[in-house]
Structure 1
C-alpha cells in the first residue's frame, strides 16, 4: 500500500497547478482530505477524491490540465493519475466522509431522464405519442356511448319490424339502422377523443 504523502496547502496548490483560493474552495466543498492534525493536505487521498467527484462535462479540460502537469514534470516522482485509474476505480480516500455522493453517477442519472423526457416531448409534438389518460378516457367514453346507442335501438325498431313479414326486408332494415348508429358513434367518439387530447396537452 502506498504511504501517505502530505504537503502544505500552498505546496499542494502548486503541485496541481491551481491557486490557493481553489484549495479553499475544495475544502469548503468537502473535496480536500487533510492529515490527522488538520494542517497538511493528504495528496493521494485528495487527488483520488477530486477525480471521483469530478464533473464529467469538464473531463476534457481536466485531462488537458493533467497532461500539462505531467509535461512540467510536476508528477515525475509518482505514477500519473490517468495510468493509476485506467484499469480500476479510485480507492475510497482515507478521511473522506462516508456516503460521499458520486457526482458522475448522479449527473449521468439526471441526464438520462432529461433525455427520456425530451424524447417523449418530441414524439408528442410529432403526434406519434399521446397522453395515456386522455386515450383511456376517450376509449371508455366511446364504449359507453356505443353501448347506449345500441341499447336504444330495440325500442325504436320494434314497431317498424313488427309490421314487416319479409325476412330480407327485416335484415336490410336492421343493417341500415346498425350502420347509421355505428357511423354516428364513430363521428361522436372521434370528436370526443380529439377534444380530450387537445384539453390534456
Structure 2
C-alpha cells in the first residue's frame, strides 16, 4: 500500500469495502473507523483491522458464494450434521438452525393437514388392534364351549364358529375405520 492509498475519502473507502457511502459515514459517526491525523480521511489499514475485529459475522459481508466453493447438490439441503470435532462458523450454525426449524414447521403442517402422521402412534395403535383381535380369537373357545357341547350337528357347530369369527372381524374392521378417521382429522390440541 503506497502512502497515497494509506488514507481514503469516504467514497473511496466505500468502494474499497464494497458498501454504500452512507454506511461508511454511519460507521465513521459510530467511531468504528480510524481516521487520518487531519480527521477528514480514513486510515485504510487501521480501519480494516478494526472492522475485522468488531464486525458481527452474522451481519453484512459477502452473501454470495464463489463458484469454486460450490459443490454439486449444494442447492439441496442435507440433514447431515458435522462431527463435534469440526468447527462450525456462526453463519453455518444459523443456517442449520433455520433449516431445522423450517423442516419442523413443514412436518407440523403436514401432520395438522392430515397428510402425515407419527409412525410411533400408528405402530402403537396397530399393535393394540392386533392384540385385541388375537385376544378375542383366543377366548372364542371358552365363549362357545357350552353352545358347541349342546350341539350334535357338526354343520351347526361350524356355523357357530363362523358366526363368532365374523362378529370379531366386523368389530375389528369398525375399530380400524374409527382409527383411520381419527388419524385423518386434524386434532384440535395440535392446533
Contact 1:142/1:189, CA 8 A, preserved across alignment? yes
Q: Which residue of 2 aligns with 1:40?
A: 46
Runs of 5+ unmatched residues, structure 1: 33-38, 64-81, 90-98
Superposed counterparts of 1:5-154, under 5 Å? 15-16=13-14, 17=21, 18-22=23-27, 40-42=46-48, 54=59, 59=63, 87=68, 101-103=89-91, 105-154=92-141
Secondary structure of 1:40's aligned partner:
helix
Instruction: Please give the alpha-carbon distance, in whole angstroms, between the structure 2 residues aligned to 1:23 and 1:176.
Output: 91
Quickly say closer, same or farther: Cα 1:111–1:26, change in 2 above 3 A. Answer: farther
Deviation string, structure 1 residues 70-95 (Cα, Å, up to 9, x no partner)? xxxxxxxxxxxx9xx55469xxxxxx
User: How many positions carry a matched residue from both structures?
Assistant: 153
Mapped contact 1:124–1:130 kept (Cα < 8 A): yes
Shifted more, 111-120 versus 13-22: the winner is 13-22
Q: CA RMSD in A?
A: 4.7
How far is the alpha carbon of 1:192 from its aligned partner?
A: 6.0
Residue 26 of structure 1: how far off its partner (Å): 9.8
Q: Secondary structure at the match of 1:184?
A: helix
Q: Give the structure-2-normalised TM-score.
A: 0.54
Larger relative contact order (C-alpha < 8 A, sep ≥ 6)?
1
- Which segments of 5 or more consecutive residues in structure 2 lack a partner in the other structure? 15-20, 34-44, 71-86
Q: Equivalent residue of 2:89, what SS?
A: coil
Structure 2 CA distance for aligned equivalents of residues 25 and 120 of structure 1: 44
Which whole-Å CA distance do the structure 1 matches of 2:88 and 2:131 have between them? 56
Matched, 1:156 2:143: yes
1:177 shift after superposition: 0.6
Provide the C-alpha distance between the structure 2 equivalents of 1:130 and 1:100, rounded to a whole number of angstroms: 33
SS of the equivalent of 2:120 reads helix
**Cα pair 1:138 1:193 within 8 Å, conserved:** no
TM-score (norm 1): 0.52
